[in-house]
Amino acid sequence: MHGPVTVLPSSAPLSAAAAAMAADGRDAVLVADGDRIDGIVTASDVVGVVARRAGPATPRPAG
């Protein structure tokens, strides 16, 4: 997808990155302070953090 890039400051919470991705359908946002790019947050990053916060999955009993 081409077009404007969403850029968030390093101090922005992960939820801001998730909201920006949801708002425009992109799967990544840039994290930057001024002209310095600090990194990229992807949809996979957001899913991974949410999964870790939820803790380990409880195994279902067989049968």
Q: pLDDT tens-digit profile of 11-35? A: 999 889 889 888 878 888 999 988 8
Residue 36 pLDDT grade (very low, low, confident, very high; cuts 50, 70, 90): confident
Residue closest to 40 by CA, chosen among 1, 2, 7: 7
- Cα torsion at 7, 9, 13, 17 (round to 10°)? 10
What pLDDT score does 33 carry?
86
What pLDDT score does 63 carry?
65
What pLDDT score does 1 carry?
47
